Structure 1
Amino acid sequence: MKVPGLLAIALLAISSAAVAQRPASISVLEAVKIAERNGKGHVTDVEKDRWGKKPVYEVEVVRGTKSQEYIIDASTGKILRQNSSMLRDFWEEVFGRSNEAYLSRAHSLSSIIAALENRTGGKVLAASFDVERGQAYYEVEFLSQIGRTKLYLDPVTGQRLNFIPDD
């Protein structure tokens, strides 16, 4: 075998080893599905963060009067920590008691994200549920071919309510 052929094989082996060592990363959608499956409720917030030097997703799940926060390893999908708290005062202070019904009518955040990513080819970076002036919505930070944007989606239909390019 000639030297150039050996060199090509060596370079291929080195680049393959480098790819194999690079940690895989789960998507926002996968983190949301993990939290929905474990929390058995509605995800109201998801964002990527760091826990020490480790990239993680912080995911908030609401079920009835209980809130659970999951810290999910962004490389493996493993739940690193789960914290629970009661929401009795949360709904009244943040949303107002009557707004709890908005979340119960909302589609799962995973179904909203999956439909958006399938329809556009983009990727969701973060998302949260909110209610303002009687309008419930998912605020979604989204990366597409045109750049990073924020979308406001109806939590029942998944349709866009507003579109604001992010600077």
Structure 2
Amino acid sequence: MKRKLVTLLTAGAVSAAALAGGTAFASGNGNDQAEVQAFLGASQDITAAINAAETASGGKAVAAEFDENTGSGYYEVDTIANGKQVSVEIDASTGKVIKTSDEGDVAKADDDDIVDPAQLGAPLAELVAKAEQSGGGKVMSISAEHESGQAGMIEVELANPDGTTQEFAMAADGKMTPQADDDGEDDEDGQDAG
């Protein structure tokens, strides 16, 4: 009887550890489930946020991401307007501008920052549409870096309806390549989504 109890307890502990690992994997690349669920439940999508930010700043978007703070979801969209970097926060429920911040002249940007929207190869909203079509989820964040003035790979994080997230590198033609998570494993099932 004692041996059966120890075996059952050990099996239960192993199952609990596996489930905990699965939960950590499902939440993906550091996003907690609350943030992913807030994103999936937001009435405004990232494309609407990009459009609102471009209107508010008078510029063109070069990066966008969803964030959540104490239950309130918002998008942070980086734009380039008149030689300046402008960050615009958009409420994920109403689509209204929360805050606009001047981030300084593009001439003083970090070396790997996109300082010209043309470096993306297409408008950010078009890239979002390509990523969602290729990846099958909703874009939670999209950004790019460049090297020596040349366009680099576009980094995309997708949220799936089941609450899991995946990270991809997207080429200009829309081809999506899964990126390894922190453990060196391919996100999700490791399949190419393109």
Q: TM-score, normalised by structure 1?
A: 0.66
> Does the residue aligned with 1:95 lie in a helix, a strand or coil?
coil
Alignment correspondent of 1:46: 64
Query: Shift of the alpha carbon at 1:28?
Result: 1.6
The superposition leaves residues 52-111 of structure 1 with CA deviations (integer Å, 9 ceiling, x where unpaired) of 6532111111135211111111110000111123324434x4238xx756x424211101
Q: 1:152: which partner in 2?
A: 169
Counterpart among 99, 118, 130 of residue 133 in structure 2: 118
Q: Normalized per residue, which structure has more strand?
A: 1
Q: Which residue does 1:10 correspond to in 2?
A: none
Structure 1 contact 123–143 (Cα < 8 Å) conserved: yes
Specify the alignment match of 2:154 in structure 1.
138
Counterpart amino acid of residue 107 in structure 1:
A
Tell me how far 1:136 sits from its aligned partner: 1.6
1:149: Cα distance to partner?
1.5
Answer with 26-35 or 114-123: which moved more.
Answer: 114-123
Moved more, 111-120 or 64-73: 111-120
| Alignment coverage as a number of residue pairs | 139
> Where does residue 16 of structure 1 map in the other structure?
none
In the TM superposition, what whole-angstrom CA distance separates every residue of 1:95-139 from its partner, at most 9, and x where no partner exists?
38xx756x4242111011112323443111111121147452221
Identity of aligned residues (%): 24
The 1:47/1:120 distance shift into structure 2, 3 A limit, reads: closer
What is the Cα deviation at residue 140 of structure 1? 0.5
Moved more, 63-72 or 32-41: 32-41
- C-alpha distance 166-32 of structure 1, shift in aligned 2 (>3 A): farther
Question: Structure 1: which 5+ residue stretches go unaligned?
Answer: 1-22
Higher relative CO (Cα under 8 Å, sequence separation at least 6) belongs to 2
Q: Give the 5 Å matches for 1:87-126.
A: 87-91=105-109, 93-95=110-112, 100=115, 103-105=117-119, 106-126=121-141
The 1:55/1:144 distance shift into structure 2, 3 A limit, reads closer
Unaligned runs of 5+ in 2: 1-40, 183-194
| Equivalent position SS for 1:31 | helix
Deviates more, 1:71-80 or 1:41-50: 41-50
Which residue in 1 is equivalent to 2:84? Answer: 66
